[in-house]
Amino acid sequence: MTSAEFSHKLRVYIEDTDAGGIVYYVNYLKFMERARTEFMRSLGYGKDHIFSSNLMFVVRDVAVSYSLPARLDDELEVTAEIARVRGAGIVFHQCVRRGAEELARGEVTVACVDRVLVKPRRLPPEMVARLQLHKQVEA
């Protein structure tokens, strides 16, 4: 884990699985959403702050690759790392792990929109500055 990588632990519950006790594929997106939300909250951008700033984040693009299945009662670690911050968007690299095993990896682009108009708007400058401090180092 790099210093820019945020980590969120969670447990797989029966509601997350299919009839065979394996996590249903779309639930990995929910796990990633929770990690991004907790990451933003840790930076001071919880829902109260976002809404009071007339902002909202919406997923614009998502790509996920699945490697191994998670199962009922597994303890997972879901990471969120900022890859890029531009204009009205943030690109996150995310990973779902069980111990040392990588189960799924994704790239999620979120767009900042005006909460009332639901139209793209630039990220506030102070948010950009804080997010840049937590951006992964490009190799």
Is 18 annotated in the active site? yes
Tokens at 60, concatenated = 């614009």
> Are residues 137 and 6 in contact, defined by beta-carbon separation less than 8 angstroms?
no
- Residue from 3, 2, 1, 23 nearest 13 by CA: 23
The angle at the Cα of 127, spanning 62 to 57, to the nearest 5 degrees, equals 35
Active-site pick, 18, 61, 73, 114: 18
- List residues with catalytic annotation: 18
